[in-house]
């Protein structure tokens, strides 16, 4: 973890950079946002053990010695891919690529042998989302003898699409089970997130490839979620139900489910040139997501945060929440007027409470109070990183417009960067210069923070 250096010059630069007085950022200045995000990303990677000899590559510290399950590694790389795409910072490219490849497993489908016995469909899908996300932004392909990002995403889709992963009768007929293997606890539970992640992957593949198979799969997946009651008329998104009775709903609201359903719908809206059905879904999900998870303009994990009941897994959900909304305003630019002010407000509060640790800039989980809660970790850093990057314009091909339908068989998107610039242009040339100086200073100081 970062330590404050004794070198007086380094301390001076850290003070100028805000590291001794918390994380400071002007959410209306893209250069300031990028500089703050660079610091958060740097601190995030202090929690990644994969660059230490003898430690597993691609994942965070897993049980029994650590607190983070296998899927959180996929979430880490998705957050860094989004950061890279929106900030232009390529510092972590090697880590991202190595991490995504090391965990693919013998069949190139993100089922490594040492995790299969406890793997859920949602776990595998999160890694598939990372792979399709890498393809979507045009991230450099892995070296020779390694599968391409699109291949990995397609392989995960095919696994999730298969009948043997699904319920074959009753009112849950066709729904994707939570767990993959019958021996696992949770095999007889229908988790909304597994079905939503599958839908999201299908939607992204539809847009990237133009293949109607993926488009139909995405449509069918959304329809099924509605039919079994996991999406309410008000666009609440529920947690799941027992496989034998999908009418007995667990109505717990989790932001990861709402955000990933919204993001997938935005991909379909973009892919279908603004189809009315997908627009209606985007509109409904935007309104309800903002209402439920941003009660005062700041992200709150409603189901657990207010009573301090969040599990370690739930601490990661705010990263998905902000990334889902951030990509929505790129894929459906008309939503920016409603979504962006809330994202800015949330990002501002998120950054303001990053005053912890010996560096004076580590982040906590509770943002709405404005006070650091003394609870640090990779999930907290990822949440703030995604909050900041969500208000930056996407640079890669994920940023589309309603005339973009994908690239056909080439497997790379032809989406164009939206003319909207969510973080705003820097107000003056001076602001840009100062922001750049802050970013440079943070990079120089990397050698001191050991």
Q: Can you give the pTM of this predicted structure?
A: 0.85
What pLDDT shows up at residue 22? Answer: 76
Report the distance separating Cα 289 and Cα 427, nearest Å. Answer: 31
Can you list the domains of the chain with their CATH numbers?
8-447 (1.50.10.20)
Tens digit of each residue's pLDDT, the chain (450 residues): 333 333 334 333 443 443 445 788 999 999 999 999 999 999 999 999 999 999 999 999 977 778 899 999 999 999 999 999 999 999 999 999 999 999 999 999 999 998 888 899 999 999 999 999 999 999 999 988 999 999 999 999 999 999 999 999 999 999 999 999 999 999 999 999 999 999 999 999 999 999 999 999 999 999 999 999 999 999 999 999 999 999 999 999 999 999 999 999 999 999 999 999 999 999 999 999 999 999 999 999 999 999 999 999 999 999 999 999 999 999 999 999 999 999 999 999 999 999 999 999 999 999 998 899 999 999 999 999 999 999 999 876 543 333 333 322 223 232 322 333 334 334 322 232 333 333 333 333 333 332
What pLDDT shows up at residue 282? Answer: 98
Report the distance separating Cα 166 and Cα 193, nearest Å. Answer: 14
Six token digits for residue 135: 């393809």
H or E stretch at 204? helix 192-209
Q: Which residues pair with residue 241 across a beta bridge?
A: 190
| DSSP codes, 119-169 | -BHHHHHHHHHHHHHHHHTTPPPP-TTS--HHHHHHHHHHHHHSGGGB--S
Helix (H, G, I), strand (E, B) or coil at 176: strand
Calculate the CA 73 to chain-centre distance: 11
């Amino acid at each position: 973890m970062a330590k404050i250096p004794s070198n007086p010059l380094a301390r001076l630069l850290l003070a100028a950079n805000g590291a001794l007085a918390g994380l400071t950022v002007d959410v209306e200045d893209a250069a300031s946002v990028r500089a703050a995000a660079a610091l958060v990303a740097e601190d995030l990677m202090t929690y990644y053990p994969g660059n230490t000899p003898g430690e597993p590559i691609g994942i965070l510290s897993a049980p029994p010695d650590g607190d983070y399950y296998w899927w959180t590694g996929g979430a880490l790389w998705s957050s860094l891919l989004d950061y890279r795409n929106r900030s232009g910072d390529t510092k972590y490219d090697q880590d991202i690529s190595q991490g995504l490849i090391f965990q693919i497993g013998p069949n190139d489908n993100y089922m490594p042998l040492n995790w299969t016995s406890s793997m859920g469909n949602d776990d595998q899908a999160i890694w598939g989302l990372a792979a399709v996300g890498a393809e979507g932004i045009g991230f450099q392909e892995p070296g020779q003898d390694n599968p391409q990002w699109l291949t990995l995403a397609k392989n995960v889709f095919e696994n999730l699409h298969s009948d043997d992963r699904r319920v074959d009768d009753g009112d849950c007929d066709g729904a994707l089970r939570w767990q993959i293997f019958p021996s696992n606890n949770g095999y007889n539970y229908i988790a909304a997130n597994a079905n939503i992640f599958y839908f999201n992957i299908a939607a992204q593949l539809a847009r990237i490839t133009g293949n109607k198979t993926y488009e139909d799969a995405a449509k069918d997946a959304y329809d099924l979620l509605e039919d079994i009651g996991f999406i309410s008329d008000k666009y609440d998104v529920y947690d799941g139900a027992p496989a034998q009775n999908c009418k007995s709903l667990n109505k717990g609201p989790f932001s990861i489910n709402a955000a990933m359903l919204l993001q997938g719908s935005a991909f379909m809206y973009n892919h279908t040139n603004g189809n009315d059905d997908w627009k209606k879904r985007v509109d409904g999900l935007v309104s309800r997501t903002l209402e439920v998870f941003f009660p005062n303009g700041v992200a709150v994990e409603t189901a657990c945060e207010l009573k301090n009941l969040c599990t370690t897994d739930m601490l990661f959900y705010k990263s998905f929440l902000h990334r889902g909304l951030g990509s929505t305003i790129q894929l459906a630019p008309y939503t920016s007027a409603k979504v962006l002010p809330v994202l800015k407000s949330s990002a501002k509060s998120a950054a303001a409470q990053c005053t912890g640790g010996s560096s004076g800039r580590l982040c906590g989980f509770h943002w709405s109070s404005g006070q650091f809660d003394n609870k640090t970790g990779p999930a907290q850093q990822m949440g703030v990183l995604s909050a900041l990057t969500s208000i930056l314009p996407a640079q890669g091909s994920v940023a589309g417009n309603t005339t973009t339908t994908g690239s056909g068989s080439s497997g790379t998107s032809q989406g164009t960067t939206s003319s909207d610039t969510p973080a705003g242009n820097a107000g003056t040339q001076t602001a840009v210069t100062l922001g750049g100086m802050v970013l440079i200073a943070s990079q120089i100081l990397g050698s001191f923070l050991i």
